Structure 1
């Protein structure tokens, strides 16, 4: 089905029609985690957002090569060229090998992604697995005259680059403003300019992760890694480069500069960024005491949380906000999302029970069109979810015999819900895999029926109310008592 998709491009600061370089193929690169600590909710929001895009493109029939890297070296404290490597520092504190730290937190990251039903990327390269490619990229930038070597380190010459190119093209900031607002850091006397950044860093004797290079033992700069890996797997130019909004000013700005210096073109046609996650209106941070990890959110074991929330509830909560808007966490917002998710899945689970009528009171095609229109407008998941609640209303009305629907429209309704709820939004009924649940509930319903037969209405009401408290609704009918999730 041909759909005209419009995407907000940070590079042009406007919404543009998405036209792949080589349809039906799409190349998408998203900056992955630095695996020195547990994945946080900001990570999750970014990867859930790009998972939605990956799923939607795939649904439309595109062949997507989705590359999401693992940074396992070269990312220094403070995102600068000074200080310790984050992974090496954690290894020293834990008295472990750096690769033990990498393995532990990569496994943890994958566990969190699976819990959120985030599909794995097509390729998940690591920085340490592409040292040769990074060294070759440094050589190419040196050959073009946009880098210089000082005592075993290689730096990118930002001011020279800006003479013929716009260094601030992504952020929209002029070089003069950047220079005036950048403080000179200690230990950077060897750099020509304040904005120059390291492509290759000379390793100190105590540095744990280092490799031989034409400039001596050292390790790659953080920005270089993504350029080398995206170029290797997606070519000199590809369709989409994504990441969190916090990556725009430095990481993505430097990626563009070094790639243009090497290849003469911007690596990506569309730069797509997700916005930040806040907690009760404040930025999430350890210093404010308002941060918590995904597993704490699932269990409720954090003082800021009233209770735990299931992974699908959290995914639904995140998709209820547009990826470019700030997402504010609160217990009230989570409880509202929990109710909304249960309502959506309750309707979804009624689909197979619906019976067609000879005639229909409702046409589903306009609703289906609006669902596509929502996602075609910069992946507007909140609008899509609103349309899916309208579909849920129709399902409930048909189930309660308040609306009639013919077989053709019923088939379209079922397809709409399966396509958009499960395949595209990536939502699933967390109780669906429990083979014992239906049997247990049927047993409880039979006990209630026996209580009613014996005129034990107190027990009958107690069972109904108890099930309602844990999210199950009973409906009495001529055919018997039916149960469904609320």
Structure 2
């Protein structure tokens, strides 16, 4: 395992901490996955890509990572509260389907979109409905600890009683007195003793579609319970990293911490990582605002706010151009810039794979060039070591790309860097793009062999000074997103940036 001073920003401590896994080189990481009642959107993409990067980089450093990402297919009620209708059951009624048909359809859709974004599959992907017995046991354990109460067949977590021993709100920075003063007064219709209490088990109404037997009632688990049950089952009671979107910090992750301490007597995770939100032209993304965009709409361009379609790798690159804890603002201009940046890197990758080291006895190693390359190589790693700063890492990759392009165009020779530095530069550049950042070349539908034939015809027309044919070929290829590059000793092509 490589030795790196990896630092993670821990939401719980609100500072960067040196990463020290509990049992190196093993790392346990749990990430809150989607609630499968609708198509995946940009917010889903950012969370998935963020923790895909964490997974990839820790694996690159030599850690054996068990990455668990759940699927919520029951218990997530409307308005993220303890009242209302289950989101999946509501969709099932509208579509006249079984709830599990809805969950399966949108889970498959989510996986398709994540595959297109090149996110690696998690080690384990459990579902809430597959862990009902574990959740029932947790409810019983919390009741036994005296930190929950049952009323009319439903069971609620007693936040005030828990707060007497362990502060509730440590993760989100909430103060319980302020939460209480800001909460609506109970109107006599609620079963809860106070408005901060949250459901561990809810008694189901007769018309409720998703329900199971329990010691308290025929009902269903609360939304927060599933993550405690599944994370502790697959990673233990105290694991390394818990991740999710910033919108989950309160109340979802706060409730997980309370549940973990109540039944397992420990915080669930050592490090809490939260990716920030995506806004659209400075506004929060939402269906009510008319700016809600699914990934499939982005890929096809089928949305009123889109000026064009954007490929999956353009979306992935766009997400990587900002640090995961910063707000990322969507606009057509930002995505078009991301498209150009992505193509520049992929063109560079194509070139890097073509370059070979040729010893030139007439050229001495240029110490200044070597120093510049080494600085960029070290800088890319240092950026990733500093809380997975992909934006800064990409900046260093573009500095390396300048050197690769200079060798390609003949402004510099490979011998200027020496074989060891040259090989390290090429290998690191390729490894960063493909293995760490997870970017891949999006091949054109036309075969590259046809491109070779066209370039041969182009060369013949140029040699014959048939400039009309030269211009026709150039124009036709440009319409396909390909530009012809007239090099000193050859003709090549590149994606139009």
Shorter-normalised TM-score: what interval?
over 0.9
Deviations 1:1-48 (A, max 9, x none): 211111111101111111111110000000011111111110110110
Question: Secondary structure of the equivalent of 1:71?
Answer: coil
C-alpha deviations, 1:441-486, integer Å up to 9, x for none? 1121122223223332122123224434543232334543222334
Q: Distance in 1 between matches of 2:427 and 2:125?
A: 32
> What runs of 5+ residues in structure 1 fail to find an aligned partner?
none
Which residue is 1:398 aligned to?
A: 407
- Confirm whether residue 463 of structure 1 aligns to residue 458 of structure 2: no
Q: Quick check: 2:211–2:219 contact (8 Å CA) kept in 1?
A: yes
Q: Are residues 185 and 54 of structure 1, via their aligned partners in 2, closer, same or farther at CA, if it must alter by over 3 Å? A: farther
Q: Deviations over 1:369-417 (max 9, x none)?
A: 1111000111000000001111111110000111122322221112101
| Structure 1 partner of 2:200 | 199
Q: Distance in 2 between matches of 1:346 and 1:249?
A: 43
- Aligned match of 1:373: 382
Q: For structure 1, which segment, 272-281 or 410-419, has the greater mean C-alpha deviation from structure 2 after superposition?
A: 410-419
1:415 aligns with 2:409: no
2:141 aligns with 140
SS for the counterpart of 1:250 is helix
Q: Map 1:39-58 onto structure 2 (within 5 A).
A: 39-58=40-59
Q: Aligned pair 1:428/2:448, yes or no?
A: no
SS in 2 for 1:194: coil
The separation in 1 between residues aligned to 2:262 and 2:86, in whole angstroms, is: 26
SS at match of 1:295: helix
Tell me if structure 2 keeps the 8 A contact 1:243–1:274: yes
Q: Which residue of 1 aligns with 2:347?
A: 346
Partner of 2:398: 389
Instruction: Determine the C-alpha separation between the residues in 2 that align with 1:208 and 1:186.
Output: 28
What TM-score, normalized to structure 2?
Answer: 0.95
1:188 Cα deviation after fit = 5.1
Count of matched residue pairs: 484
1:212-266 Cα deviation digits (max 9, x unpaired): 1111211000000000000100101000101000011100111111111111111
Map 1:49-448 onto structure 2 (within 5 A).
Answer: 49-184=50-185, 189-356=190-357, 357-358=359-360, 359-361=364-366, 362-363=369-370, 364-405=373-414, 406-431=418-443, 437-448=447-458
Distance across 1 between alignment mates of 2:494 and 2:346: 10
Q: 1:456 to 1:128 in 2, by over 3 A?
A: same
SS in 1 for 2:485: strand
**Offset of residue 185 of structure 1:** 6.2
Structure 1 residue ranges (4+ consecutive) displaced by more than 3 angstroms after TM superposition: 184-188, 357-361, 468-471, 477-480
8 Å CA contact 2:409–2:487 kept in 1: the answer is no
Q: 1:389 to 1:186 in 2, by over 3 A?
A: farther
**TM-score w.r.t. length of structure 1:** 0.97
Contact 1:26 1:62 (8 Å CA) reproduced: yes
Does residue 481 of structure 1 match 2:491? yes
Number of the residue aligned with 2:31? 30
* Counterpart Cα distance in 1 of 2:193 and 2:487: 81
Q: CA deviation at 1:187?
A: 7.4
Alignment check: 8 A CA contact 2:239 2:270 kept: yes
User: Structure 2: where are the runs of 5+ without partners?
Assistant: none
Q: Secondary structure at the match of 2:289?
A: coil
Distance 1:3 1:471 in 2: 41
